[in-house]
Structure 1
Amino acid sequence: MSSEFFDYSLPELDSEDFTTLLEHKNVKISRIISNTLKTEQKFLSEKDEWVIVLQGCAKLEMNGTVHKLTKGSSLFIPANTEHKLLKTKKVVVWLAVYID
C-alpha cells in the first residue's frame, strides 16, 4: 500500500480520524488527524505508544502534567496510562507508534 502521508480528508470539527499505515509483528503505526478539538478526549491503551506532532499544536495531560506539543514534539505514553487530549489549535497531524 502506497499513499501520500499528507493526503487526507479532514474529519468533522471537534473530532479525529485514525488511519493505520502499517502493522507488523508487535508494532502498529497510525496517522491521526485532529480537527480543532475543543472537547476533551480520554484514552487508555493496553499498548505502549509514542506520538510525534508533524503539524499543528495540542495540549495533552498525562499523570497530572500538561504537555504542550508543537510541530516536532514527541511523547512516550506507557501502556495502561490514562491520558487526555485537552484541545488542539486548528488541525493537528500526528504519527503514532503502538508497541505490544
Structure 2
Amino acid sequence: MKQSAIISNIFELPFQLPLEELFEPLLSTKDLLIERIISTGQTTPSGEWYDQERDEWVILLQGEAKLTYETGETYQLIAGDYLLIPAHQRHRVNYTSSEPPCIWLAIHGDLS
C-alpha cells in the first residue's frame, strides 16, 4: 500500500525551541541520512571534536555560524553557505546565532 505524501516546511520551527541543539532526521537509510539541525547558540564543548564515520555535506539555511577544523582552518558561514566535511575530518562548531536560530540541512553518507 502506497503512503500519502507528507508536506513539511524546513523553516517551520517548534513553538518552543529546546535548550539543546535539535537534530531531526528527515530521511534515513543504511547508506544515507538527511537531517535538519536547529542551533540556538550552542557550540561544541571545549576540547571536544566531531569525528564522523561518514562524509557530511551541510548548508546553513538561516542564521550565522563558525566551524573550525582541527588543522586550524576556520569557516564563517552565513545563510546559503555550504561545505563538505570529509569523514574523520575532526571539526567543531565555535559559534551559532540564536537570533535568528540556525537552521542547517545536513546530508551524511559516502559523498566523495
Which whole-Å CA distance do the structure 2 matches of 1:85 and 1:5 have between them?
21
Which whole-Å CA distance do the structure 2 matches of 1:43 and 1:25 have between them?
21
CA contact (8 A) 1:50 1:77 kept: yes
- Are 1:81 and 2:89 counterparts? yes
TM-score with structure 1 length normalisation? 0.86
Indicate the percent of aligned positions where both proteins have the same amino acid: 41
TM-score with structure 2 length normalisation? 0.78
Which whole-Å CA distance do the structure 2 matches of 1:65 and 1:11 have between them?
30
- Are 1:11 and 2:21 counterparts? no
- For 1:52, give the aligned amino acid: I
| Structure 2, unpaired ranges of 5+ | none
Pick one of 47, 59, 63 that aligns with 1:52: 59
- Are 1:97 and 2:102 counterparts? no
| Structure 1, unpaired ranges of 5+ | none
Which whole-Å CA distance do the structure 1 matches of 2:29 and 2:35 have between them?
12
The structure in which a higher percent of residues are strand is 1
Task: Name the larger-Rg structure.
Answer: 2
- Are 1:64 and 2:72 counterparts? yes
* RMSD after superposition: 1.6
